[in-house]
Each structure stands twice: as structure tokens, then as C-alpha cells.
Amino acid sequence: MRHNRIQIFLENAKWLSPIVGSRFKAYFYLISLKIFKDYEALGRIGANSFRFRHSDYSSLREILVQKEYDFLSQDVKSGKIQNFLDCGGHIGLPGLWFLQHNKDLEIFSIEANKKIMIY
């Protein structure tokens, strides 16, 4: 069981490293996010930075690692999709993903909790 947990930790650090800047930072953030539930880690997508907490971890993986929105990338890059409405914006990851593919895209993010969405 212990070996499996270490392996999962190392795999998570591997995909998180490019987002947080280094493997060492990924180790630090993974441990801090586990210990301190309100700990905010700093990530980066292209030129855009964002903060995330333990509760945002699954969204981060779905959008940036599992590439949940990649099926839209050609339409976004070509300008076929010109605006994006994100209801329940949380920390703005979908909007940041869209901006990575087309910096001229208009993005509207709606999030009721002001403390969650920071950018």
C-alpha cells in the first residue's frame, strides 16, 4: 500500500511540475495542499498565473492534464469560437485554457464566491 501511495505522489508531481515551475515546487505544493486544506499554490498556464487549493486539484488535472477541452482547440484557434461563457468559473481554469489557444477570445466567467476567483 505504501509503495502505491509513493508512486501516485511521484506521478502527480510529474504532471504538476510544468504548471508550478519545477519538480521540487510540485513536491512542496502536493505536501502543503495535503496538510493545509486552505493552502494556495501558484500555477501558470502560458503567460497567465493562477492560484489553486486542494479543492481545485481535480479540475486542474481534468483541464490541463486530461485535456478535457482539447476537442475545441481547432475551433478556438481558428476564431470559429469568439467568446466563452463559464458559469461557475471557480478559479478560471477553463478561461485560461481558452486564452492559451486564442488570446483575443472574449471570456465571461461567473462565480458567486468572490474569494474563489482571483485574477
Query: What was the pLDDT predicted at 10?
Result: 95
Q: How far apart are CA 95 and CA 111, in angstroms?
A: 12
Q: Minimum mean pLDDT among 56-60, 63-67, 80-84, 111-115: which range?
A: 111-115
| Rounded CA separation 10/13 (Å) | 5
Cell of 103: 488570446
Q: For the whole model, what pTM was predicted?
A: 0.77
CA gap 38, 4 in Å, rounded: 26
**pLDDT tens-digit map of 15-48:** 999 999 999 999 999 999 889 878 888 999 888 8
